[in-house]
Amino acid sequence: MVDLSGVTPPIYLPPGSLVQVSATCVARLFRLVPTDEVVEICEACIRAAATYYEGKILLHEYEFMSNHLHLLATDLGDNGRGVLPDFMRYLDGMLTKNLNKHRGISGSNFEGYTVQIIDRDDTKRILEAVLYIQNQAVAAGLTRTNAEWKHCSSRNLAYGEKSTVVKPELGIWANRMRKINAAAADRSGRSKYVGHSRTPDQFSLTLHKLPGFGHMQPDELRTMIARKLVRLELEAMVRRAITGGQVLGWEKARSIDHNHIPTSPRQLFDRRPTHAASTPERREAARVREETFRREYAIALEAFLDGDHTVEFPHGTYLMARRFRARVARGPG
């Protein structure tokens, strides 16, 4: 059996997984600092990604901060494999191309992302994930209330209702060329494509209700989340009153340069679990599932490397299915 110790573990991503995702900008640069133009670009890009992966990725919550973003989504998968890495690659590409074009710079904007899989019936942990995502601005001391943080967010969107934004004339969708590049664009012939885009004039998004809360109406669930956020805001106010902590404020937060690097220390090589659960029993069950997956994956990989390309990799295999079209066992049901 192939020894997988000491190497990057295979991606375990069963279709149907509820995933909490955190993506960070390169060197924690403030590439997403919420100027009016950046907010418009982020609003369009998250909707473009959701539309492109409609029926494969269901967005439940999202929140953009100045140098990172958070998502909660269900990965329904495609042809028996998860597609979250593809979705994140698409979203990263859309954001990077537009932000770079808007600023006249080049290079990567994101350095990577982390994923936690949450049991779809673990309502306590799901609610914790939602509150963590939607309380970012208050927890970071940026604003007194989350409502004051007016970046791209699902906080005010109703579950099950479609929201639409107009495609902004920014980034790669701008109907103009930078004067400095106009002559070169004329020579190369690129200028004739200015303003031509195959993307729609509007981007729509339907936010999907959280799994595990079927007993609650969508508006009832939103109201409960809003009340819990208010409580977190009040608790933060009390802590500041005791410690003398200050709030930066929305206007100051959005005026920071996009090349700013935070001075706070950064923890490297921290423990990043692939599963999140509200009880030790759930965490142990998740650990056993992943250990079983890795053991079965190692056996299948050895057979595949020996030339047996009919071998089935365990349910939840991502990379071998995407890169080599390896067969993957179907999950239960």
- Does residue 272 have a pLDDT over 70? no
Structure token pair of residue 156 = 């005010």
Mean pLDDT rounded to a whole number for the chain: 87
Backbone φ/ψ region at 32: left (φ over 0), alpha (ψ -120 to 50), beta: alpha
Residue 23 confidence (pLDDT) = 93
Instruction: Give the pLDDT band of residue 275 (cuts 50, 70, 90).
Output: confident
Specify the pLDDT at position 60: 97
d(CA 176, CA 195): 7
Domains and CATH numbers, the chain: 17-272 (3.30.70.1290)
Whether 32 and 103 have beta carbons less than 8 Å apart is answered as: no
Q: pLDDT, tens digit, for every residue of 65-98? A: 999 999 999 999 988 788 999 999 999 999 999 9
- Beta-bridge partners for 81: 78
Residue 24 has pLDDT above 50, yes or no: yes
Examine the pLDDT at 3 and tell me if it is beyond 70.
no
Q: CA-to-CA distance for 224 and 330, rounded, in angstroms?
A: 37
273, pLDDT greater than 90: no
pLDDT category of residue 269 using cuts at 50, 70 and 90: very low
**How many Cβ atoms sit within 10 Å of the Cβ of residue 255?**
11
Structure tokens that stand for 319 in this block: 């990379």
Question: What sign for the dihedral angle of Cα 226, 231, 234, 235?
Answer: negative
Mean pLDDT within 225-231: 97
How far is 318 from 271, CA to CA, in rounded Å?
22
Q: Are 151 and 310 in contact (CB under 8 A)?
A: no
Tokens of 320: 């071998």
Q: Greater confidence, 268 or 11?
A: 11
DSSP letter assigned to residue 172: G
Mean pLDDT of 142-152: 96
Of 152, 113, 155, 149, residue with least CA distance to 134: 155
The yes-or-no verdict on residue 2 having pLDDT over 70 is no
- Region of poorest pLDDT, from 82-91, 137-146, 286-295: 286-295
Residue 11 DSSP label: P
Q: Residue 177's pLDDT band (boundaries 50, 70, 90)?
A: very low
Q: What pTM value is reported for the model?
A: 0.86
CA atoms 71, 76, 81, 86: torsion sign = negative
Of residues 250 and 188, more confidence is placed in 250
Two structure tokens written together for 96:
């990077």
Average pLDDT estimate for 237-248: 92
Q: Please give the full DSSP string across 140-166, using - where no structure is assigned.
A: TTS-SSGGG--SSBSTTPPTT-EEEEE
- State mean pLDDT over 53-68: 96
Torsional class of 265: left (φ above 0), alpha (ψ -120 to 50), beta (otherwise): beta
